[in-house]
Structure 1
Amino acid sequence: MFKGVYLRSAGRAAWIAFAGALLATPVYAQKRPAPAVQAQAPTIPSNPDDAFVALRDAARKNDVDRAATLSAALVDYPIPSYVEYFRIKPQMFDSSGLARIDAPDEQVRTFLQRYQGEAIADRMRNDWLLVLGKKRDWANFDAEYPKFMLKDDTQVECYALLSRALKGQNVAAEARAALFDVRYYGEGCVDLISYLAQSQQIQRSDVAFQARQALEQNYTTLAARIAATAPDSRGDSDTLATIVKMARNDPSQAAAYLNASAASLSRDEQGAAWGVVGQYAAKKLAPEAAGYFRRQIDLGGNQWLSDETQEWRVRAALRQGDWRQVRQSIELMRPELRAKDPAWTYWYGRALAADKRPDEARAQYEAIAGQFNFYGQLASEELGNRITLPVRTVVSDAEATAMRTRPGFVRAQKFYDLNLRFEGNREWNWELRGMSDRELIAAADYARRIELLDRAVNTADRTKTEHDFSLRFLMPYRDIMQRATDDVGLDMAWAYGLIRQESRFIMNARSSAGAHGLMQVMPATAKYVARKIGMTDFSPTMMGDPNINILLGTNYMSMVLTDLDSSWTLASAAYNAGPGRPKNWRSSLNRTVEGAIFAETIPFTETRTYVKNVLSNATYYAALMSGRPQSLKDRLGSVAPSSVTTTSLP
């Protein structure tokens, strides 16, 4: 029986040599627990809610003893399913988060029977499938996998494919489709790659590509482990591995090295190398990026390229205004990647239009114009339409209040009261499964009534044919917002669009970086703005007050807008990434570009998504507030080249 990752003593890949030192502490090896240190037992909180939160924290750390002690003190807690789950889960994973082969299977079976149909049972089944896959218990795995409802765990999917492969099925095509984001591989996906390579269902080029994907993302240990799975092969050449490392820091140096080393690479390896160099050059907004990608296309264009490289191939051509290369790059995309994001449908339509193929371009726009997102809006405008709101579906009070008895919503509210949003969102979203559009609107209205504003927005966002945009685009604190935006002459639709993206109207929202409240203002920024507007008594504790949060946030928005030539596109980027970065991005332009191109080519994924969402939101808010059709294109404007100038803004 297949026993995990095989390491061959002969024919070690240059990939393995490259990252071999890192294998001394492998990420995927299951660690033996360290000997217990004698210490005073931690106390159990007297408040049951505090004890429950402590139990949840112990479960997250896979602290078996602490979880057992706390769960024993919560016998009558109102959410027994989670008490039991948090007690069992630490017995299934070790302290580093790896599945244990000595997990308590019978306890898991009892739990699944007791809580069948609930969200937490699906979570438990997800965990158990990782255990069953780890210990190669395929009989139980195959029985449980069809019952796993969400199927949102890449590693579980890898184990499912491995189970089928071990039974003699060819799963190579499905594996290639599943293995595109190395962040979620874990043990199961490395084992799948290993077996498929051993059984010759996939080729050396498949393994080399997977290793290179990991290396591109700087997962060097994972890259080496994947490369080690290919029997009697070298993986990619050491030259290509060096180019990947070099390109991350200095694409031009990598390009020079590639030119000098091309003779040692196959045609496919040269194409892959130019793709990697192009990706990193494009992320640095280097004008040479499009040229690197042209060399890759000239070598055939269909070499193994990561999804990120394929996307940046389009963006580099957009930034240079090379519509022919935009079209070629999208045509060369992996079909699943191209279909997943409406961006590529829209830009393909634009490329066809530039090629004087209007009928084909129109077909592309029509395919996405009905979507209520950034590119759906832009496609609609290309068809000659302005942005309007769909007909509103209004539900009755009875329909909304009937939602209060839904078990998942009841549990979710308890979690929100404890500020456990992860568990609350899991329960809320589980309850939404299978709802009709009208039921979703009723659930969104119910969420609004009980002031779960983020759930109201997210739930209303799910409808397909019936809609209520007054719930999708809520406007709480409108009196405060009106006063604050009027005082600084700020477009209130833009301010609401930003808040919707920043916090979804969660007043106590905090980011990992310390941003606070509705407008997610950073502490240093809040102090700076307070000083600038003469607020002498400011204290960071005031940021929990919506009046103060909105006052400081809108003043900062006004400051960055003024600092960036009144461009909503640049100012939105500045609010997320700081004002210095969009100035740098702008300075690298060699011509004026439309705002949509500037937004799509922002190097930071978070900021790129942020800018598009904020301005799409703002367009709908403007339509709601004015009752008139709007233009996202007008809001995006254009961005002209500019030299970098310093800014005093934080």
Structure 2
Amino acid sequence: MSSMHRKLSALSLLLLVCVSAPAQCQDGSEWDRARAQLRASAPSGMSQAIDRWKQLSTSGSYGGGFDDYASFLLTYPGFPDETKLRAAAERALDFGSAQPARIVAFFDRFPPQSNPARAQYALALAALGRPEAATMARDAWRGGQMSADAETMIQARFGANFKAEDYDARVDALLWAGATEQASRAVAYTSTADRPLAMARLALLQGQDPAALGLAIGPEALRDAGYVYNRSQQLRRSGQLYAAVNLLSTRPSATAPARDPRKFVAELLTVAKSAGAEPAVRIAGSIDDAFPAGTDVSHESFAVRDDYTSLMWLGGTKALWSLGNGSEAAPLFYRYGAAARTPQTRSKGFYWAGRALARGGNAAEAQRYFEMAAAYPDQFYGQLALERLGMPLPRFDASLTLDPTPAQRAAFMAKPLTQAVREVARESDWPTAVRFFREIADQAQTPSDHALVAELARNLGRRDLAVILGQAAGASGVDGFQQTAFPLIPVPGDTDWTMAHALTRQESQFAMNAVSHAGARGLMQLMPGTAREQAGKLGLSFDAQALMSDASYNLRLGGAYFSRMMDIYGGSYPLAIAAYNAGPGNVNKWLRENGDPREGGIDWIDWIERIPLSETRNYVQRVSENAIVYQALNPAKAIYRGANPLSHFLGKRSPG
């Protein structure tokens, strides 16, 4: 048996023991033993590839050519930031030369992401005499922007075959991109049907009034998403915000989807943020014509999903909190959840859809949405939904039965990314390690894939990889990884065990070498000044290095600081958690502005959602859900074992 197979067999046994018999791994020290073994091992040959990746992926610090990026991507597929590196390779084509064969080989493996790259691909295909060059050239022409040289060459070589509808599509794309110079050159070749609207949009982009130029367009222009987009932007930029609000809140449905839904949704969101409650709700409710019928927005890019969900949340909260209209709020909250990929956002949207309908007296329909939210029981809103349904938390300690085959393990271990993860886990700065950990977790598709990453996390002794794997599994709809995703760590005896785990999982994901952009350090992300003060209160000497090298020291100081916050707020967990993140000064301010939920002036859930700092709002929810899961997984350590555990933890008077 090879040494690698012996390690994998031992690893599988360890995973089985710790999942099926958690009492045998009760303090989590097995993670630290594995970590120590890894750090004692020799570096691998992958370190040079990681250094090269850092150089190429650091924005603005490396002006490499196309061949630099292409060579790396073809040699190390699947490394983090692949999309970013591909974009850098594509941009480099506009500032240097590359052999057509090299360009074609790259784009055959990595299809163009941008239209300028699509144009370069078409020209390289033509240089090699490939028959698909004409089709690629037409696609690039219709796609809009490209370099001036590429525009000249494509028009000279393929222009005779382009039709009016190709120019219609090209000008539409250029106008969405704001490329007025290229659009001006092409607009004369558009069809007679499309030209008036195209010229009107061009005038808007140039800061002119189409009517003043004699461009007569009828009310049907308001059914063109491109015209509405350009008109709204022109109104905003000229100081006519009220007119932009009126335009977007009263417009008829578009006859065709937006060519660039990302920009269209972003414009709707920008205007809705400045609108009153009623027009904001109407703008949010009108969004679906941005996409083809039946589009699942959760499959769109992050940029689209982010603005879409922000608009749905804005519309839903305006409808419910400002207008008191639960029936109008519910579908917006539902779309907020349905458009998301992460369990925390999906459960939040479905819960609030149910809550909006419950407020409106539609209990039966509300229950359906609560059931949808309850499908995510390790999430804040999933736990609240279970309480609304009168259901207990499920068993999170069920044993994993997944057993990847030897062939699957061998293929997984042979991947360059897996080898790189092992190297960054051995010795690397925290930001680099996290990027590789997220990449390998996000690439897992099947339950077996996730099991292999879970095994790798334990083998490397990296609790942070385990947490990240659990998050990725939840986003992929793969269940059964809570034992791995909520790892244990030895906690000093005078420290709140549950809160040490709940806070650390959110603060650093158990990475001892974590350092925030603000300078917070270690497991519980303590600022050196705060740590020094807390050490003095405990009668301990302060050691800045120990914040990142001594887990017990960091946990003891962080736990004691949290206890201080608990004392300040009379034992209120959510207020103490918020203060741990944002400081008691901010929490006191929010209590004055939004009311004190301890006194019944405002519901706890409403108060948390009104925290103006999104980081703190998210933090309170994540730490709270962590505490509930850790108690469920480790009942002997539980602070409370009764019904409705999250509401009890929050101090909420009614369940859910």
Both proteins in one fold, TM over 0.5: yes
User: 1:617 matched to which residue of 2?
Assistant: 626
User: 1:8 matched to which residue of 2?
Assistant: none
User: 2:651 matched to which residue of 1?
Assistant: 637
Q: 1:392 to 1:91 in 2, by over 3 A?
A: closer
Q: CA deviation at 1:622?
A: 0.9
User: 1:549 matched to which residue of 2?
Assistant: 554
User: 2:573 matched to which residue of 1?
Assistant: 568
Report Cα offsets for 1:542-588 as digits up to 9, x if no partner.
43311111111111111122222322222222222222222222211
Q: 1:593 to 1:265 in 2, by over 3 A?
A: same
User: 2:300 matched to which residue of 1?
Assistant: none
User: 1:405 matched to which residue of 2?
Assistant: 413
Moved more, 531-540 or 507-516: 531-540
User: 1:432 matched to which residue of 2?
Assistant: 444
Q: CA deviation at 1:624?
A: 0.9
Q: 1:210 to 1:605 in 2, by over 3 A?
A: farther
User: 2:493 matched to which residue of 1?
Assistant: 483
Q: TM-score, normalised by structure 2?
A: 0.60
- For the pair shown, the structure with the greater C-alpha radius of gyration is 2
User: 2:364 matched to which residue of 1?
Assistant: 359
Q: CA deviation at 1:382?
A: 0.9
Q: CA deviation at 1:98?
A: 7.5
Moved more, 513-522 or 627-636: 627-636
Q: CA deviation at 1:385?
A: 0.9
- Alignment counterpart, residue 350 of structure 1, candidates 343, 355, 373: 355
- The DSSP-based 3-state class of the residue aligned with 2:113 is helix
User: 1:377 matched to which residue of 2?
Assistant: 383
User: 1:601 matched to which residue of 2?
Assistant: 610
1:458 corresponds to 2:468: yes
Q: 1:51 to 1:428 in 2, by over 3 A?
A: closer
The structure that is helix-richer by fraction is 2
1: CA distance between counterparts of 2:202 and 2:277?
A: 23
2: CA distance between counterparts of 1:595 and 1:171?
A: 54
- Equivalent positions of 1:277-356 (< 5 A) are 279=273, 292-294=276-278, 296=280, 302=286, 307=308, 308-315=310-317, 324-331=324-331, 335=335, 339-340=339-340, 341-342=345-346, 343-356=348-361
1: CA distance between counterparts of 2:449 and 2:363?
A: 41
Corresponding letter in the other structure for 1:293: A
Maintained 8 Å contact 1:134/1:188:
no
Maintained 8 Å contact 1:92/1:103:
no
1: CA distance between counterparts of 2:238 and 2:97?
A: 39
Corresponding letter in the other structure for 2:386: S
User: 2:482 matched to which residue of 1?
Assistant: 469
Q: CA deviation at 1:615?
A: 1.0
Maintained 8 Å contact 1:132/1:140:
no
Q: CA deviation at 1:108?
A: 5.2
- The DSSP-based 3-state class of the residue aligned with 2:480 is coil
Higher relative contact order (CA 8 A, sep 6+): 2
Report Cα offsets for 1:477-534 as digits up to 9, x if no partner.
22xx15142xxxx3x2233122111111111111111111111112222122222222
User: 2:15 matched to which residue of 1?
Assistant: none
Maintained 8 Å contact 2:103/2:121:
no
Runs of 5+ unmatched residues, structure 2: 1-43, 127-138, 146-161, 207-225, 252-266, 291-306
2: CA distance between counterparts of 1:242 and 1:274?
A: 16
Q: 1:425 to 1:325 in 2, by over 3 A?
A: same
2: CA distance between counterparts of 1:297 and 1:61?
A: 39
Maintained 8 Å contact 2:441/2:468:
no
Report Cα offsets for 1:47-75 as digits up to 9, x if no partner.
9888666544442256668899999xxx9
- The DSSP-based 3-state class of the residue aligned with 2:387 is helix
Q: TM-score, normalised by structure 1?
A: 0.60
Q: 1:326 to 1:138 in 2, by over 3 A?
A: farther
- Alignment counterpart, residue 519 of structure 1, candidates 507, 512, 524: 524
- Equivalent positions of 1:152-163 (< 5 A) are 162=143
Q: CA deviation at 1:329?
A: 3.4
- The DSSP-based 3-state class of the residue aligned with 1:561 is helix
Maintained 8 Å contact 2:80/2:439:
no
1: CA distance between counterparts of 2:228 and 2:268?
A: 27
Q: CA deviation at 1:135?
A: 4.5
2: CA distance between counterparts of 1:368 and 1:484?
A: 36
Q: CA deviation at 1:355?
A: 1.8
Maintained 8 Å contact 1:444/1:456:
yes
Q: CA deviation at 1:625?
A: 1.3
Q: 1:382 to 1:171 in 2, by over 3 A?
A: farther
- Equivalent positions of 1:187-336 (< 5 A) are 235-236=232-233, 238=235, 242=239, 267-268=246-247, 279=273, 292-294=276-278, 296=280, 302=286, 307=308, 308-315=310-317, 324-331=324-331, 335=335
Q: 1:561 to 1:188 in 2, by over 3 A?
A: farther
- Equivalent positions of 1:59-138 (< 5 A) are 59=56, 60-61=58-59, 81=76, 93=88, 100=94, 102=96, 104=98, 106-107=101-102, 109-110=104-105, 125=110, 129-130=113-114, 132-133=116-117, 135=119, 137=121
- The DSSP-based 3-state class of the residue aligned with 2:358 is helix
Maintained 8 Å contact 1:572/1:614:
yes
- The DSSP-based 3-state class of the residue aligned with 2:634 is helix
Runs of 5+ unmatched residues, structure 1: 1-46, 117-124, 143-157, 177-185, 212-228, 245-257, 259-263, 281-288, 640-650
Q: CA deviation at 1:209?
A: 13
User: 2:459 matched to which residue of 1?
Assistant: 449
2: CA distance between counterparts of 1:547 and 1:597?
A: 36
2: CA distance between counterparts of 1:274 and 1:232?
A: 9
- The DSSP-based 3-state class of the residue aligned with 1:350 is helix
2: CA distance between counterparts of 1:208 and 1:337?
A: 39
